[in-house]
Amino acid sequence: MKTTLALKFLAVLTFVLHGTSVWAQGPMDITLDHDALGRAPTIKVEIGGKTYPFLFDTGGGVTIITPAIAKQIGCTPFGQLVGYNAGGTRLDAKRCDAVEMKVGGHSMKLDAAVMEVMTFFSPDTTEIGGFISLHTFENRAITIDLAGNKITVETDRSLAERVKDMKRLESRLSRQMGGASIDIFVAVNSPKGKMWFEVDTGNFSTIQIAPHAQEMLGINFDAPNRAKMTKPVKLDIVGLGTVEGPARERVMIYDGMINHDTLSKMLITMDLRDGRMWAKMQPQPPAPVK
């Protein structure tokens, strides 16, 4: 997979997209696979009688399908959808409405952005059909277990049971362009006030921190090529406590972004109806005996 994937698709688009879904009555698990993109989590999605791996990206904003799939299902993409990635670059696309798909065997209709996504991967990568984002699970509560390779779509009852031993984070939803896209941010303490970091499973790089947020934290990526320098950073996530991981500088429109590897160390539950979020650290394997 190209290293530019995380840079180009972090918080990729925010569009006016809507949809409906019919979820099972009880909690339902959806398997995260890794057969198409290596360590990147994918979900099997059936569209038009064919099954494709879709990248699962909590920073993706909306559900995305490729032009090839749009053609297969008889949709001529229309309209103009305008969004901005984390670096502030404008991205334009068209859309297809009421796309019928099955996600983990679960039927739904969603309005989807149409974009060519294979340009973000190496030529030998298995074809993927698009992106599954938080928008795909709109108005539901989900638990993300990257270490356990699954997403659980919760019911009200299972949600209440799930979060009993988890810590409540300070979090908020980001809904731009008419309020249809969904991203989620968590508060991070600094000596100069709170910062808001995007929760982004599609960030396969390090934790990323904007220059203004570094100043708030009292850290400095002081090197000739600051964008490529990494250093260990401790983040005090409000409600959870301190997490540590390698970080680098990125000039962007957010304070920062928490990456896939850091999120893999947590069990995360989020209620996409109101933006509440809970987390706890996953048990870590014991260090090898020397």
* pLDDT computed for residue 36 by the predictor: 64
* pLDDT computed for residue 283 by the predictor: 87
Give phi and psi for 187, each to the nearest 5: -80, 140
* pLDDT computed for residue 3 by the predictor: 39
Summarize pLDDT for 111-155 with one digit per residue, the tens.
Answer: 999 999 877 666 777 788 999 999 999 999 999 999 999 999 999
pTM to 2 decimal places = 0.88
Give 232: exposed, middle or buried? Use CB within 10 Å, 0-12, 13-18, 19+.
exposed
- State how far the Cα of 263 lies from the Cα of 197, in Å rounded to an integer: 12
* pLDDT computed for residue 105 by the predictor: 81
Q: Using 70 as the pLDDT threshold, list the residues of the chain that sit under it.
A: 1-26, 36-38, 120-122, 177-180, 223-227, 285-290
Summarize pLDDT for 108-122 with one digit per residue, the tens.
Answer: 899 999 999 877 666
Where do the domains of the chain lie, and which CATH numbers do they carry?
Answer: 5-156 (2.40.70.10), 165-280 (2.40.70.10)
Summarize pLDDT for 209-219 with one digit per residue, the tens.
Answer: 999 999 999 99
- State how far the Cα of 279 lies from the Cα of 268, in Å rounded to an integer: 4
